[in-house]
């Protein structure tokens, strides 16, 4: 994402719009570019709010939007793109949690000028660390190779680059030594063919767990918009009608039962914008985002889990809630 910000011309002091609810790596990369993040509210399903995006774009005049699909939650992309076009903004998509995710049949990562995917160990394609950069712009691709650190004519090792364009840009772009190691790429490439099968496992498991717990009075699971085809490798739900102490106790008991979870808006979570003290925006009063993370539980659902495992997880969640309520 840092390379993407450089490619689209972000300069120190520029305003970049981004999600109020995301992982701290997103505002961190804006800070890395010495730009200024302005945070956009989230909705009940933890996706970016298009109305607040329009408001912040109008107020700031920002021309870059770095939008995260945090935990795979997708906003109304038709509404988002209308705002992007209205304000003539450049869209960079953070698809770390949005592999094989579609809006009306179109893959996320292909709506903006650049799509960025993480290959960190918990992601759909995982190799410890690293990432994938996609674009259909030849100049963006050329600059990405050079920013990553392709000096002299080492760019010739890359596939299908415009050699004339590469020669032209060769010594105009600094190299930041962000190349992916070959061993990392070697771990990733065999996983690509498995991605569809892994997605099916996640979708089936998510649907099963949803059927087991969604009607509990203390659980609210917001559903994606009907245009969304999600990857479903995690589940989030709001704890409703519970005190802070009881919600924290729920998390502690789930961990004791061998099912670690977290609440986005508690215990200095790195996804709580109020903890990003390195940016001025951590002081903003973003009421919708606070309300939507305050009791939001986050559960990882790795692809090795089978339906029996999911049934156990569902039973444990319900048993722990019953225990907290003394039932």
Find the mean pLDDT for residues 225-232: 98
Question: Is 126 within 8 Å of 137 (Cβ atoms)?
Answer: no
- pLDDT tops 80 at residue 84: yes
- pLDDT tops 90 at residue 323: yes
Which position has the higher pLDDT, 156 or 245? Answer: 245
* Cα–Cα nearest to 227, from 111, 94, 66, 91: 111
Query: Three-state DSSP class for 68?
Result: strand
Find the mean pLDDT for residues 136-143: 96
Find the mean pLDDT for residues 207-227: 98
Using CA of residue 191, residue 197, residue 203, residue 206, what is the dihedral sign?
negative
Q: What residues form DSSP beta bridges with 68?
A: 94
- 12-64 pLDDT, tens digit per residue, is 999 999 999 999 999 999 999 999 999 999 999 999 999 999 999 999 999 99
Query: Three-state DSSP class for 161?
Result: coil
Pairwise CA distance, residues 307 & 212, whole Å: 12
- pLDDT tops 70 at residue 327: no
Find the mean pLDDT for residues 302-322: 97
Find the mean pLDDT for residues 61-79: 98
Domains of the chain from N-terminus onward: 2-192 (3.40.640.10), 195-324 (3.90.1150.10)
The string over 199-234, giving b where at least 16 C-beta atoms fall within 10 Å of a residue's C-beta and e elsewhere, is bebbbebbebbbebbeebebbebeebeeebbbbbbb
Q: What confidence score (pLDDT) does residue 151 get?
A: 86
Query: Three-state DSSP class for 66?
Result: strand
Find the mean pLDDT for residues 113-134: 94
Beta strands across the sheet bearing 234-239 = 219-220, 234-239, 296-300, 262-263
- pLDDT tops 70 at residue 309: yes
Using CA of residue 278, residue 268, residue 235, residue 217, what is the dihedral sign?
negative
Kindly report the average pLDDT of the chain as a whole number: 96
């Amino acid at each position: 994402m840092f390379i993407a910000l450089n490619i689209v011309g972000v300069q120190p002091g520029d305003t970049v719009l981004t999600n109020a609810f995301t992982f701290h790596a997103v505002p961190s990369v804006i800070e890395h570019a010495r730009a200024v993040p302005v945070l956009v509210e989230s909705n009940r399903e933890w996706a970016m709010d298009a109305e607040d995006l329009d408001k912040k774009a109008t107020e700031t005049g920002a021309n870059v939007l770095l939008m995260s699909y945090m935990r795979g939650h997708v906003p109304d992309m038709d509404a988002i793109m209308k705002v992007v076009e209205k304000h003539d903004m450049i869209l960079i998509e953070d698809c770390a949690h949005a592999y094989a995710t579609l809006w009306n049949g179109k893959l996320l990562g292909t709506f903006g000028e650049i799509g960025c995917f993480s290959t960190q160990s918990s992601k759909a394609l995982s190799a410890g660390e690293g990432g994938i950069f996609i674009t259909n712009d030849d100049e963006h691709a050329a600059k990405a190779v050079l920013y990553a650190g392709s000096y002299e004519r080492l760019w010739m090792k890359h596939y299908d680059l415009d050699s004339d364009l590469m020669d032209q840009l060769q010594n105009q772009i600094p190299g930041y030594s962000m190349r992916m190691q070959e061993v990392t790429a070697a771990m990733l490439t065999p996983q690509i063919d498995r991605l569809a099968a892994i997605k099916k496992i996640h979708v089936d498991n998510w649907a099963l767990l949803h059927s087991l717990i969604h009607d509990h009075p203390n659980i609210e699971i917001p559903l994606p918009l009907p245009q969304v085809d999600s990857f479903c490798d995690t589940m989030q739900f709001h704890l409703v009608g519970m005190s802070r102490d009881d919600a924290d106790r729920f998390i502690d008991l789930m961990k004791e039962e061998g099912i670690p979870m977290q609440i986005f808006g508690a215990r200095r979570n790195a996804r709580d914008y109020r903890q990003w003290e390195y940016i001025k925006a951590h002081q903003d009063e973003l009421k919708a985002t606070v309300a939507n993370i305050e009791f939001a539980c986050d559960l990882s659902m790795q692809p090795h889990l089978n339906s029996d495992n999911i049934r156990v997880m569902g039973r444990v969640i319900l048993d722990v809630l019953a225990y907290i309520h003394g039932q």
